[in-house]
Amino acid sequence: MTLLEGLLWLTLNVYHEARSEPEIGQVAVAFVTLNRANEKHRPIKEIVQEPYQFSWTFQKESYLPDDPKAFLACMKSVYIALQTKDFTQGATHYHLDSVTPYWSSEFTYLEQYGSHKFYK
């Protein structure tokens, strides 16, 4: 996998998971994706496409962004994540604050950024 392909999949993940979030929430989602890739020693594309890990990958018919302005904002958030220290304390999971997934009790709650709660 090329660097460009990894950046594209990281940006697509932030776009589909957090495009309506403030920048800090988007950056936090990018860190989760990066943390999982580092922890599992796998490419970003494989992490994003892993079954049932990121809801957009099995709920959407198309991966193509339909809001170019939001996609560029997410690209900026990815750039920030790649240039700064991980403020999520190594978070590897998150969910919307309006739901309580079955797995959340198995992880340590860390912080909330935007409307997502982050865990490790």
Provide the number of structural domains found in the chain: 1
Residue 1: its pLDDT value, please? 60
What is the average pLDDT across 67-80? 97
Task: Tell whether 97 is covered by a domain.
Answer: no
Edge-to-edge strands, sheet with 116-119 = 93-96, 116-119, 109-113
Confidence at 69, pLDDT banded by 50, 70, 90 = very high
16-49: pLDDT as tens digits: 999 999 999 999 999 999 999 999 999 999 999 9
Within-domain flag for 28: yes
Task: State percent of the chain over pLDDT 70.
Answer: 98
Q: How many CB atoms lie within 10 A of CB 11?
A: 24
Going by C-alpha positions, the residue among 58, 78, 61 that lies closest to residue 12 is: 78
> The pTM is what?
0.94
Is residue 44 situated within a structural domain? yes
The type of residue at 33 is: T
Structural domain for 33, as ranges: 3-88
- The CA–CA distances, whole Å, from 49 to 68, 100, 105 equal 22, 23, 24
